[in-house]
A and B are shown apart, each in its own frame.
Chain A
């Protein structure tokens, strides 16, 4: 009796498996930090998953979303699960820079292309045999940094103070800025580090003020970018304040209030969409995304969500090309998908235009990043 039951259920299971593979289906894993310290970044990304394309050509796409609780160890577990159990064809995520750095070797070993919506360029630079499986859907730090340094040079900034988080984001920015400021003749007179969880940065701020820089750049992702700036303001620092695209979220304005008035940052055009001319190709894509997201979630998305949306656009373009080389679920398909992603040409995303190449897996150029300032408590385009 028991044996027949087992046999019957086995037969049923194999039947189900057979019928599932009859519909050609692409499986995409999404890993986001919807809980834990990076939740600010991860939640809009998770909420974007329902907006990703469900049908590409004649293939249906299934998304399997997992939460890594902002923990790099959990990210590795989630990615391994997606690869070995779900046999996904591509992975979107994880949300955090340290999390993404930790999973690169596993996706490379399994040969699964990964679209990482993270800030740090270290996931695709310098290009290695492992990193060729990774594509990054955000602007590289150096594109943003170059815009900032150009602006600083134009506005007579000669000495600069840096304060950043003690994580890959802050470290990479310190490295990028050191190279760029050198060329522009700007001297970095103080470079300080703080932790996201710090409840005071007075010590670091005093050290920066003691060095008397013309301007200070805060390099921190998300909410922590506010504290150094308000502390400097409270201590009476009068120089110019700069922020990276890490500060480009509504919470920055809310937490900073009038103390962050006049801050200059380079970031995605999504912040000032209304002021962008219609000729910019990304305006239409970004408006569509924002409208769809708002309809679904009842609030405007942070730019982090758009990075996941862009990953969907990239896949939409690459999957039909890959389908010609192999069936979804096979190593051939995944390798072809990787090649197809690498050949992405002039694809308009929410934050700019992608032109991938074997050496550039981020593919952004100057289009899509704008100089923005804070005026009367809102983002305004700097002209």
Chain B
């Protein structure tokens, strides 16, 4: 163990830790706003990475059909709900846009030369394909039971996770994929070279965290979400729609997930089911933050990444054991120091 090895391990740990931190933040966001433990978060990582790889291979991603299917079902559900509540079918511009969107994308995919697009456009297209799945999932699976106990929401999350892994296998196949790196070369830093992708991951994560901070502190929508997180009933009385808050938080979660997927896809091989274990480590981070504190969750996730990298060096056989055992002392510490608050009335 010398300085060079320590720095390389540190670089590796920071790269993974930054991704875990992003996921920890979005898990925390979804949980505080909607009380949903968003287990399918990892699937958005995998979907993002694999869609990017599909685009780079020049194939049309079949994910767009899933998007279209969900949009159609959501529209039907909205129409039926409108009839139940008001006795007539309502079809507003919002519905029309949502229904039309996937079909515009289908057209775009047919027309665009996917393989030769600049990487930034490929990434944008990937986000355009994956991110709308977040709000659609909320509309279809969580909105009808938004007031159910946390346990039921958790069970729905598990079911959705299993279903999405299956759909992932169907859409992307069993082979793993890697995408091309965003840039070649790297930055000389003492005895080691920070490679370009690591820099990309770190800067993008940092930028996203700053953007999220500004969003929650400075914008009305961000403040509305924070209000919902603090007190759902109070926020509702102030005119903040819980449906809007739910969809917005799922939108952000899907965005962060898909972006994380695009960021790590050049570093590692992603399979249709790789997302779960990645988001689980982000989850460990958000547990360290007590499912309440954003900065502690981000730091915790970073810590998970570093511990993972160093334990892979010292005791590779026990790496996962070490990482997931980490959660026990923190849970103990949390349960001893924090006052127990009963969520359900």
The answer to whether A and B come from one shared complex is yes
Task: Establish whether residues A207 and B269, one from each chain, have CB atoms under 8 Å apart when the complex forms.
Answer: no
A374 on the B face (CB < 8 A)? no
Q: Which residues of A contact B178 (CB under 8 A)?
A: 255
* Least distance between B215 CB and chain A CB atoms (Å): 28
**Residue from A206, A234, A235, A251 with most neighbouring chain B CB atoms (10 Å):** A206
Give the number of chain B interface residues (Cβ < 8 Å).
35
Judge whether B319 and A206 touch: CB under 8 Å: no
Task: Answer yes or no: B274 CB below 8 A from chain A CBs.
Answer: yes
Complex Cα–Cα for A75 and B222 (A): 48
* A to B contact number (C-beta, < 8 Å): 89
Q: Are A227 and B268 in contact (CB under 8 A)?
A: yes
Chain B contact residues, majority secondary structure: helix
The reply to whether A197 and B16 contact each other, CB–CB distance below 8 Å, is no
Kindly state whether residue B219 has any CB partner on chain A within 8 Å. no
When chains A and B are docked, how far (Å) is the Cα of A207 from the Cα of B273? 28
- Near A by CB (< 8 A), chain B positions 264-299 give 264, 267-271, 273-274, 277-278
Which residues of A are found within 8 Å of B319, using beta-carbon distances?
Answer: 194-195, 198, 203
Contact A227 B269 (CB under 8 A): yes
Question: How far, in angstroms, from A251 to B278 measured CA to CA in the complex?
Answer: 22
Are A206's CB and B8's CB within 8 A? yes
Question: B82 contacts the other chain (Cβ, under 8 Å)?
Answer: no
> Which among B166, B175, B316 is the interface contact of A194 at CB below 8 angstroms?
B316
Does A178 count as interface, using CB distance less than 8 angstroms?
Answer: no
Asked if B5 and A206 make an inter-chain contact with CB atoms under 8 angstroms apart, the answer reads: yes
Docked Cα-Cα span, A39 to B169, in Å, equals 8
Is A204 engaged at the interface, CB distance under 8 Å to the other chain?
A: yes
Query: Which residues of B from 200 to 216 have beta carbons under 8 Å from A?
Result: none
Contact A223 B175 (CB under 8 A): yes
User: Do A39 and B174 touch (CB < 8 A)?
Assistant: yes
Given contacts A199-B268, A203-B312, contact A35 B278 (CB under 8 A): no
Interface residue tally for chain A (C-beta within 8 Å) = 32
Closest to A256 in B: B178
The reply to whether A193 and B317 contact each other, CB–CB distance below 8 Å, is yes
CB distance from A107 to the nearest CB of B (A): 26
> Would B316 and A192 count as touching, CB distance under 8 A?
yes
User: A39-B174, A199-B274 are contacts. A226–B269 as well, Cβ < 8 Å?
Assistant: yes
* Residue numbers in A under 8 Å from B316 (CB-CB): 166, 192-194, 203-204, 207
- Measured in the bound complex, the distance between the Cα atoms of B309 and A350 in whole Å is 42
B268 touches A200 (CB 8 A): yes
A202, CB-defined interface residue at 8 Å: yes
Which A residues are CB-close (under 8 A) to B174? Answer: 39-40, 42-43
Task: Say yes or no: A204 contacts B176, CB within 8 Å.
Answer: no
- B67 / chain A contacts, CB cutoff of 8 Å: none
Determine whether the beta carbon of A234 is less than 8 Å from that of B195: yes
Q: Is B129 on the interface with A (CB-CB < 8 A)?
A: no
Chain B positions within 8 Å of A210 at CB level: 5
Given the known inter-chain contacts A40-B174, A251-B176, please indicate yes or no for A207 contacting B271, CB distance below 8 A: no
A223 and B268 CA atoms in complex are apart in Å by 11
A343 to B16, CA, bound (A): 54
Closest to A197 in B: B277
Q: Which of B16, B169, B320 contacts A199 (CB 8 A)?
A: B16
- Interface residues as binary, B156-200 with A (CB distance below 8 Å gives 1, 0 otherwise): 000000000010010000111110000000000000000100000
Q: Which residues of B contact A43 (CB under 8 A)?
A: 174
A213 on the B face (CB < 8 A) = no
CA of A319 to CA of B320 in the docked complex: distance in angstroms? Answer: 47
A37 at the interface (CB under 8 A from B): yes
State which of A37, A201, A204, A234 has its C-beta within 8 Å of the C-beta of B271: A37
Instruction: Mark A232-266 against chain B: 1 for CB-CB distance below 8 A, else 0.
Output: 00110000000000000001001100000000000
Q: Are B12 and A202 in contact (CB under 8 A)?
A: yes
What are the 4 A-B residue pairs with the smallest beta carbon separation, nearest first? A203-B312, A39-B174, A203-B313, A202-B12
19 A-B pairs with C-beta separation under 8 A: A35-B166, A37-B273, A43-B174, A166-B316, A194-B319, A197-B273, A197-B274, A198-B312, A199-B267, A200-B312, A202-B8, A203-B12, A203-B313, A204-B312, A206-B8, A210-B5, A223-B271, A226-B269, A227-B268
**What residues make up the interface of A, taking CB atoms closer than 8 Å to B?**
35-37, 39-40, 42-43, 166, 192-195, 197-204, 206-207, 210, 223-224, 226-227, 234-235, 251, 254-255
